[in-house]
A and B are shown apart, each in its own frame.
Chain A
Amino acid sequence: MKGETAMAQHPPQHPQALESQYFAALRAGRFEIPRCLDCHRTHFYPRVLCPVCGSERIAWIRATGRGTVYGATVVRPRTERPFCAALIDLEEGPRMLSRVLADPPESVRIGARVVLSQHRLEETHPQFELASDADSVRGPVCQA
């Protein structure tokens, strides 16, 4: 199917962990999440077995990077600046934990629209930022 990348790109004797595939795609600038080819549901985090229907026929799809804040907290470490950690409901359905980059971090509200940020944590971990009205109607912000 268009937009899907087969997961089994490597010889079966050297299968690469889905975790490694996910982070490798992020390093290459692609935010990809798994989609089941049988029940057509997306899920997160990546699994070899669809957690909805049990199928092993899974493919990567490019996520739009748009989502909605489901839960949020300002984390206040002793030795770092406070930051907003949030559970994000991705447009494709699955939920993930991330950070929302906002100043001040208290400005992130539950229900706020967010988009993937170009700023990643430790090179690979995707972070989000509050969407402007334009972002929420425009296409994906994650550039390949």
Chain B
Amino acid sequence: MPGVSILGTGLAGLGHAGGRTDMEILAQASGRAVRSSGLKMSDIDGVITASLTSGWWTTRVAEYLGLRPRFSESTMFGGSSFIAALITAEMAIHADRCSNVLICYGATPRSTGNNTERNRMRAALDPQPYEHPFRLINPVSSYALAASRHMAEFGTTREQLAEVAVAARAWAELNPDATLREPLTLAEVLDSPMISDPLSVRDCCLVTDGAAAFVVSASDAPQRSDLVPVRVAGVGHAHDHRQISEMPDLTRTAAVASGREAFRRAKMAPTDIDVLEIYDAFTITPIMFLEDLGFCEKGEGGPLAASGRIAPGGDLPMNTNGGGLSCVHPGMYSAFLVVEAVAQLRGEAGARQVPGARTALVHGNGGVFSSQATAILTTTGGGPHE
């Protein structure tokens, strides 16, 4: 089978959407993705999206965009949804259910503010009667529990956690679209107010507005001749719990399974990866994913994060847009990982461009380490032109 490729991508409303609604910035990002694919909106016959609140989101999105899709899908895998969606898109295209799939997301939690009523409704619709009564500050506290265990088992330190935030900010300084661009020091991360030990404010991703979209089509379909083909070489998805008390091992995530599957399908290994876009909801998350995806041994994620290898100029460039920690994080982030990876692979990343990047790994995380989706994207091999 020819496999699938990513065509155009689009972003909108990064940081503060300036009064626009979630649907409006989603539509702007989608329009940009479709136009940069060399397609018309009427060429889109498949749509995959997800919402933290609406149960009718896919039909609302299609209605707003004027789509009459032959194939639609929406499963809530939290922040991993838009990488897991690559599996569904690939299957739908191979099954001749559709030709051009639009994968899109948008939300405005920054400009609409912290909505207590909405949070209360979400909790009521997704009850966790054995956890909610203990009134953790979630999701922060659930990740803090995992971080505490990682520190106890492997000697991971707060300084190593903080280095993840410092590296992310160094990348963000190179990205004009990033929300926070002023330099950030290790001491500033360590001295920022604690929310749930050992995670401080600066160990947590931003709450911003933002929308991201991209189009997936068969690799052998005619494409805009000037668009560098970005092949989806392999995708894996796995989940092993919903709430933190049910996570089988607090220091080992389902990224072990999703990563293994993605690498197996791509016939690649971690040494083949030039650039990593790994969901940094909290500073502990990329540390554990670097381990679980095979970039270091279990327990070595802290020292790796602090080694400078993930920062600008390092040999394992990670979260090159500034990540969820410094660039953008509107509730669910994985669509932005894909958009940044594609920019890097097309050599369109400006001052933050990783020279010669040909293969990228994107990894999305959903819930409280609940759902893990990994994809390997590449401009090498397998495409229609080779």
CB <8 Å contact, B250 and A70:
yes
A52: min CB distance to chain B, Å: 12
Inter-chain contacts of A111 with B (CB < 8 A): 152
Stretch at the interface among B53-61, B77-85, B131-139: B131-139
Inter-chain contacts of A77 with B (CB < 8 A): 135, 137
A77-B137, A87-B245, A110-B152 known; A72+B130 contact, CB < 8 A: no
Stretch at the interface among B182-190, B192-200, B258-266, B356-364: B192-200
Query: What band does the interface of chain A fall in when counting residues whose beta carbon is under 8 Å from B?
Result: 20 to 34
| Distance, CA A67 to CA B97, complexed state (A) | 53
Inter-chain contacts of A124 with B (CB < 8 A): 133
Inter-chain contacts of A97 with B (CB < 8 A): 130-131, 134, 136, 243-245
Q: Is the interface of A mostly helix, strand, loop or mixed?
A: strand
| Distance, CA A77 to CA B198, complexed state (A) | 14
**A95 in the interface (beta carbon within 8 A):** yes
CB <8 Å contact, B145 and A85:
yes
Inter-chain contacts of A137 with B (CB < 8 A): none
CB <8 Å contact, A73 and B134:
no
**Which chain A residue has the least Cβ–Cβ distance from B131?**
A97
A97-B131, A99-B134 known; A87+B244 contact, CB < 8 A: yes
**A138 in the interface (beta carbon within 8 A):** no
Contact of A71 among B134, B149, B193 (CB under 8 A): B149
Inter-chain contacts of B134 with A (CB < 8 A): 85, 97-99, 121, 125
Inter-chain contacts of A95 with B (CB < 8 A): 245-246
**A75 in the interface (beta carbon within 8 A):** yes
Contact of A73 among B131, B148, B193 (CB under 8 A): B148
CB <8 Å contact, B149 and A70:
yes
CB <8 Å contact, A106 and B197:
yes
Inter-chain contacts of B146 with A (CB < 8 A): 71
CB <8 Å contact, A71 and B145:
yes
Per-position 1/0 for A32-66, Cβ under 8 A of B: 00000000000011000000000000000000000
CB <8 Å contact, B148 and A75:
no
Inter-chain contacts of B129 with A (CB < 8 A): 19, 45
Contact of A85 among B136, B147, B243 (CB under 8 A): B136
A45-B130, A95-B245, A125-B134 known; A85+B148 contact, CB < 8 A: no
**A122 in the interface (beta carbon within 8 A):** yes
A129: min CB distance to chain B, Å: 15
**A74 in the interface (beta carbon within 8 A):** yes
Interfacial residues of chain A within 85-144, with CB under 8 A of chain B in the complex: 85-87, 95-99, 106, 110-111, 121-122, 124-125
| Distance, CA A77 to CA B243, complexed state (A) | 20
A11: min CB distance to chain B, Å: 24
CB <8 Å contact, B245 and A75:
no
* 11 extra interface residue pairs, beta carbon distance < 8 Å, beyond A75-B136, A85-B196: A44-B245, A45-B129, A45-B130, A45-B245, A72-B145, A73-B145, A73-B198, A74-B197, A85-B141, A87-B244, A97-B134
A-B contact pairs, 7 of them (CB 8 A): A44-B130, A71-B145, A76-B193, A97-B134, A110-B149, A121-B134, A124-B133
A residues lining the B interface (CB < 8 Å)? 19, 44-45, 70-77, 85-87, 95-99, 106, 110-111, 121-122, 124-125
Closest 8 CB pairs of A and B: A73-B144, A71-B145, A97-B245, A110-B152, A74-B197, A71-B149, A45-B130, A125-B133
